[in-house]
Amino acid sequence: MSTGLESAYEECRSITRREAKNFYYAFLTLPAARRRAISVIYAFCRHCDDSVDTQGSTEQKLDTLAKIREDLAKSYRHSATAPIFLALDDVSQRYEISQAHFQDIISGVESDLVKNRYNDFQDLRQYCYQVASVVGLICLQIFGYQDSRAREHAIDLGLAMQLTNIARDVKEDLEMDRIYLPQDEMARFGYSEQDLQAGVINQQFTALMQFQAQRAKEYFSSGFKLLPYLSHRTRACPAVLGQLYCKVLDRIESADYDVLHQRVSLSKGEKVRILAQTWLTSSIPGLFRVPKRP
């Protein structure tokens, strides 16, 4: 590996160690080469997210994303110079990752600039697919699989995790004038945007959030079925991620779905405990079972 490429990988590793939070614990379970590749994917996603979280107009941010698309195209033409895209060139070749997946991620990030309400779940699902499920499909290429049925479950695990994020981050998203709870479901449960702006916690809100949590659980049930399709050397990574996010969902339920006056999170100790338990049961063939949760 050239010095420039090694330096590019090291920058991606540094970004991942600094920013990845829940993901970092799961990445630790992977063999070194795959862990290095996953760090590049994470760094790319973080680069996209950070490009729209800075100060500036919507037009400026869209221009930045257009530049990222250009850098991505250069990566697939093997002419990238920026470190993340230089490393991405190597990873995409090694693991045969379609450029279309990365373009989908950029499209999902663009959605946050031009769209802040979702009419129904099908509308929301497309967004979740672009920002989460596609990442799952990319990771699946790195994990390695032989049965095409694995793709369906990777998509669903990504959906489950993103729906958990949405349930957890209702308040933070509202502060950025983003409401990911489907508009038709808010109307069905009798909970208005005015209620949300006022921080109202009532039976209607609780029922609405219970519905969101139950849908996430159903996607987790399908998502965990991905694990038998993976090698014991790689299945711990999605297993740990799934269990971490399930624990967040549990915590939301334990808080009676009040995500407007507190932010649900896991302690470092909880994350380490889930990592150790899940890594052990996922990596040792005789101990492996598909999680019963949620």
8-50 pLDDT per residue, tens: 999 999 999 999 887 888 999 999 999 999 999 999 999 999 9
| Domain C-terminal end among 61, 90, 114 | 114
CA-wise closest residue to 135 among 232, 51, 20: 20
pTM of the model: 0.94
Same-domain pairing of 41 and 105: yes
Pure H helices in 224-292: 236-254, 268-283
Same-domain pairing of 91 and 168: no
Average pLDDT over residues 55-66: 93
> How many CB atoms lie under 10 A from the CB of residue 106?
20
Q: Residue 206 is part of which domain span?
A: 117-294
| Number of independent structural domains in the chain | 2
Read off the pLDDT of residues 210-258 as tens digits, 9 standing for 90 and up.
999 999 999 999 999 999 999 989 999 999 999 999 999 999 999 999 9
Please answer whether residues 293 and 224 qualify as being in contact, where contact means their C-beta atoms are separated by less than 8 angstroms.
yes
Task: Write the CATH number for 177.
Answer: 1.10.600.10
